[in-house]
Amino acid sequence: MAPINQYLNIKSMKLYTNVERIFNELEEIGKSTSDSLDIRDLTQFDQFHYHGTDAIDICIKKLGINNKTKILDVGSGIGGPARYIADKTGAEITAIELQPDQNDLASDLTNRCGLSNKVTHICGDILNYDFQNQRFDAVVSWLTLYHISDHQALLKRLYDLLHPNGLFFTEDITSRVHLKNHELRDIEKEIYGKHLPLYDQYISNLENSGFKLVFAEDMSESWTDFTKKRITQYHNDTERNIRVHNKEIVESLSSFYNFVGQYFSNGKLGGIRVIAKKS
């Protein structure tokens, strides 16, 4: 397990605090902390990336994931994408997450969904975790890799973990302009942004690491629209959210959503969806 104190800085990102808030949402639909769960009980609350399970469906289709596919999910959070893929396709998934609280919660929810035979949760650092010579057909990741500053080491690691002709899929945050120092400091604090290349540089980094580009899409406009709508919806539901959670949690998430929305709307941050092959 990764030492907790080593990674406390990532908790400056408010989305990653109070992760047990999902239990409040489950209680709202009549589920106790021990009830068995259906995957549909969770999908509205356990997808921390943009466009929810629609984004996962795109990955499943483009990678041709089926019940024979062995997948590594990097930065798996509370397990939403991994559970959804396993439930829909029968694929075998290893889900690695840096933060112990998220990983513990993910494991609990996966067990309650009856998917522990398909999804294995690991708490660790992707850069140095010992996979004991395991190799995967696909590596997937949603809004995680921008947290890791050493992308050269990261891409080499992911390349090595794939079978020959294995596929790498990620949706990740990019820069749309050259960011100023004070903006970089704010981004690091608010969303733990440690690696934010421009779109073209992101692709070049992949190719320089030995990957062959299969597909790339600029997600900036789509995610700008998504983050705007998320702010509006969350604001409109303030009374309900305070009742279900509490004022502190609601204010914390509102602050996070507002920051992200601001930086997408002002053209500073953008996004990429990319597929590359181990050649």
Question: Is residue 184 very low, low, confident or very high in pLDDT (cuts 50, 70, 90)?
Answer: very high
Per-residue confidence (pLDDT) for residue 279, from 0 to 100: 87
**Token pair of 222 as six digits:** 């789509």
**Matching residue, tokens 């690691």:** 157
The predicted model gives 146-171 an average pLDDT of: 97
Residue type, position 208, single letter: N
The predicted model gives 69-96 an average pLDDT of: 98
Percentage of the chain with pLDDT > 90?
96
Q: Which residues contact 109 (CB under 8 A, 6 or more apart)?
A: 22, 37, 42, 46, 78, 79, 83
Q: Under a CB-based contact definition with an 8 Å cutoff, are residues 196 and 188 in contact?
A: no
Per-residue confidence (pLDDT) for residue 85, from 0 to 100: 98
The predicted model gives 160-167 an average pLDDT of: 98
Query: Rounded to whole angstroms, how far apart are CA atoms 103 and 106?
Result: 5
SS3 116: coil
Per-residue confidence (pLDDT) for residue 183, from 0 to 100: 98
pLDDT higher than threshold 80 for residue 211: yes
The predicted model gives 35-43 an average pLDDT of: 96
Query: Rounded to whole angstroms, how far apart are CA atoms 239 and 127?
Result: 42
Q: Under a CB-based contact definition with an 8 Å cutoff, are residues 141 and 96 in contact?
A: no
Query: Rounded to whole angstroms, how far apart are CA atoms 169 and 157?
Result: 14
Query: Rounded to whole angstroms, how far apart are CA atoms 66 and 55?
Result: 17
Query: What residues does each domain of the chain span?
Result: 4-278
Per CATH, the number for 4-278 is: 3.40.50.150
Q: Under a CB-based contact definition with an 8 Å cutoff, are residues 127 and 148 in contact?
A: yes
pTM here is 0.95
Q: Under a CB-based contact definition with an 8 Å cutoff, are residues 261 and 230 in contact?
A: yes
Query: Rounded to whole angstroms, how far apart are CA atoms 263 and 197?
Result: 15
Pairing assessment for the beta strands 211-218 and 119-123 based on DSSP bridges: unpaired
pLDDT higher than threshold 70 for residue 242: yes
Question: Is residue 7 very low, low, confident or very high in pLDDT (cuts 50, 70, 90)?
Answer: low
Per-residue confidence (pLDDT) for residue 1, from 0 to 100: 41
